[in-house]
Amino acid sequence: MNIFAVIVAAGSGERFGGRPKQLAPLSGMPMLAWSVKRLGDRRNITGLVCVVPPRGGDDIRGGLEGFGVGDIDAWPEGGETRQESVRNGLAALPPEATHVLIHDAARPCVTERLISRLTDALRDHDAVVPVTPAVDTLVHVEGDSVDRVVDRSHIAGVQTPQAFELGLIRRAHAAAKDTGTTASDDGSLVLALGERLATVEGERMNIKVTYAEDMAIADAILMLETRE
Ligand code: C5P
């Protein structure tokens, strides 16, 4: 197995107040540096590709300088949607790559434990996603009223990184492009092919920084971890 990582960091940060959040300072480093460092430090991950906003590559490269984030193999430009950005990232992987972890830069609290759980699972599965059980009561809402309660016992939230055999995820993205299928993550596209999607346990602390106020939570999580 020759595992590479693709980090997508080409979002425009619309829900974050309209500014790109990749370089927003978080516990002493730009947000993107956390994911790059944690994926890059794993011995069983051979290399990294970082997908950046169109014409934003120099800013991002410059912003990471001095934080000891090591080598990045390629800096492809992203597209209009996350899906397009991932596709560009997959196209930029070197020919020796056989497997890939696809990760959102917006999840800076990814841990080495979770990365290892995913790479271990790749020995037995071609597509693996981390899931966390739903803890809130879940309801279906119609207008401003609750329509019905959803049985949460089989409901889970899906996180990144997500781990794939490279041929399979490339096939899933190509098929999605052909059929016009869109999805908010990559596992969904594997499922759309009719292939098995395995799970590993995700982490409650692996939050997604979506709104500006999520930064304070991520900051607290990273501070807690570095104190452990
Ligand atoms: O917008 P959202 O929070 O779903 O983005 C998830 C991840 O996808 C972020 O890390 C963001 O930078 C990335 N993204 C991207 N290209 C886009 C949209 C989002 O790389 N066009």
Q: Do 74 and 9 contact (CB within 8 A), yes or no?
A: no
pLDDT, residue 41, reads: 87
Q: Which residue's alpha carbon is at the smallest distance from atom 6 of ligand 1?
A: 104
Give the C-alpha separation, 206 to 109, whole Å: 5
Residue 162 tokens read as 């997500």
Mutate to test the pocket of ligand 1, among 22, 31, 85 (most ligand atoms within 8 A of CB): 85
Q: Do 183 and 176 contact (CB within 8 A), yes or no?
A: yes
H-helix or E-strand spanning residue 138: strand 138-142
8 CA closest ligand 1 atom index: 20
Residue 138 tokens read as 């879940």
> What pTM did the predictor assign?
0.96
> Left (φ > 0), alpha (ψ -120 to 50) or beta: where does 28 sit?
left
Q: Ligand 1: residues within 6 Å at CB?
A: 8-11, 51, 78-82, 85, 104-106, 210
Give the C-alpha separation, 184 to 36, whole Å: 21
86 CA closest ligand 1 atom index: 20
Spacing, Cα 138 to ligand 1 middle (Å): 25
How many C-beta atoms surround the C-beta of residue 120 within 10 A? 13
pLDDT tens series, the chain, 228 aa: 999 999 999 998 777 776 678 999 999 999 999 999 999 988 899 999 999 999 888 889 999 999 988 789 999 999 999 999 999 999 999 999 999 999 999 999 999 999 999 999 999 999 999 999 999 999 999 999 999 999 999 999 999 999 999 999 999 999 999 999 999 999 999 999 999 999 999 999 999 999 989 999 999 999 988 766
Give the C-alpha separation, 211 to 203, whole Å: 19
209 CA closest ligand 1 atom index: 3
* Residue range 180-218, pLDDT digits in tens: 999 999 999 999 999 999 999 999 999 999 998 999 999
How do the domains of the chain map onto residue ranges?
3-130+158-227
The alpha carbon of residue 74 and the mean position of all alpha carbons in its chain are separated, in whole angstroms, by 17
Q: Find residue 3's DSSP bridge partners.
A: 45, 99
CATH number for region 3-130+158-227: 3.90.550.10
H-helix or E-strand spanning residue 167: helix 166-179
